Amino acid sequence: MFSRRRILQLSALAAAGSFIPRFTLAQSTSSLVEAAKAAGQDRVVISSGSGVFAQLMDELFFQPFKKATGISVSGVDSVDSLVRIKAMVQSGNIEWDIAYLSPEEVSDEFKPYFENLGANCEQLPNVSLEGVDGSCFGGSAVAWDQGGLGLAYDERAFPEGGPTNWVEFWDVEKFPGPRALPNYGSPWQVLTAALIADGVPRDKLFPLDLDRAFRKLDELKPNIAVWWAAGDQSQQLFRSKEVVASAIWNGRASRLQAEGVPVRFSWDGACYEPMTYRLVKNGPNPLAAKALLDFLYTRPEAHAAFIKKMSYALPNKKAIELLDPKFASSLVTAPENLPKVVRMDADWINANRAVLSERWTSWVSG
């Protein structure tokens, strides 16, 4: 399955520049580094996205970590992470130390493949000291970049204002024109949008009423011109004026705006997508990996630099103070946005993944 970050290809974005922060290691990170070196661990292998995302992670975090500690970081593409980790476990040859995954990607089958970091991630002190509330995911993961899949409309098609929520997105009489929705392996996102359009409150969406959701989707299906499968494609649909409104990731919408394409993005009913890092059980460099994760939560200047380039929030709680207030208000973590988003029920999704995928594939191709 491909998630948002798996297919992130922001080729139009320039590299981050020459930001080289000055810093000293936090005491907790220093202790972990000393333990890692004593154990002969001088390298970390981490799956961490691709494209500009990977470039920024290397420049702003991995290279500074190496400079400060002498521990090198090798980033690998995170496409099909779970499949690759499963193959490693079955072969007994674990090559990765850290995996980059969304919360709903890790089913019960895969949970034993990752280390427990403590109920509040006590093994990584900077997560609680430097991170925003909720940075520890049940002790099995730490939050990293946070964004969402919301809806956007083309202001050229609706100069007086277009659809800003899913009810209006479904209203093709008031807001006429071709639409687009995603089809990249996470059907629950579109299903939640359909249920919101049908009047279900955001906090009552799960368990998903599939019959009701697909009935609502039946109404809109004739107006869906494109089922996009990649972030680049979702952007191109607006550049070419192929659609007047679409679901799109907020970072992609921000890049379009930076290009001068007049799209308006809405967080109302958007699917909240917090990506996480998980420590792979029996990885080759567990202490060095913990040192890196602990390090990632420090240095708000690096977090702010990343956020400015990608428009995805990072967890250091002091980073927001370094951003322009208007820009900060566009992020999912802004107080006016976070209450509007939909939080996925990962346990329900994983328990019903096969049924969801089978029914979705049958419906979208029918």
Domain CATH code at residue 123: 3.40.190.10
Asked whether residue 172 is assigned to any structural domain, the reply reads: yes
* Domain contains 337: no
In a domain, 318, yes or no: yes
Residue 184 pLDDT more than 50? yes
**What are the C-alpha distances in Å from 187 to residues 47, 208, 354?**
24, 11, 11
Is 284 in the same domain as 266? no
Q: Are residues 58 and 171 in the same domain?
A: no
User: CA angle, 271 as apex, 267 and 274 as ends, to 5°?
Assistant: 105
Give a yes or no: residue 187 inside a domain: yes
Q: Do 33 and 110 lie in a common domain?
A: yes
Residues 72 and 113 in one domain: yes
Contact 279, 117 (CB under 8 A): yes
Q: Are residues 354 and 317 in the same domain?
A: no
Of 187, 244, 245, 237, the closest CA to residue 217 belongs to: 187
Which tokens hold the place of 216? 């609502």
Does 192 score more than 80 pLDDT?
Answer: yes
Structural domain range at position 189: 147-272+342-365
pLDDT of res. 11: 29
In a domain, 228, yes or no: yes
Tell me phi and psi for residue 250, to 5 degrees. Answer: -60, -35
The predicted pLDDT at position 23 comes to 53
Based on the domain organization, do 50 and 61 belong to the same domain? yes
Question: Based on the domain organization, do 64 and 203 belong to the same domain?
Answer: no
On whether residue 238 sits in a domain, the answer given is yes
Do 12 and 88 fall within a single domain?
yes
352 and 248 within one domain: yes
Residue-level pLDDT at 366? 86
Q: Which residue has the tokens 């990608």?
A: 310
For 148-162, what is each residue's pLDDT tens digit? 999 999 999 999 999
Q: Do 242 and 361 lie in a common domain?
A: yes
Domain count, the chain: 2
Question: Are residues 225 and 129 part of one domain?
Answer: no
Give pLDDT tens digits for 82-136.
889 999 999 999 999 999 998 888 877 888 999 999 989 999 999 999 998 889 9
Q: Is the domain of 355 the same as that of 229?
A: yes
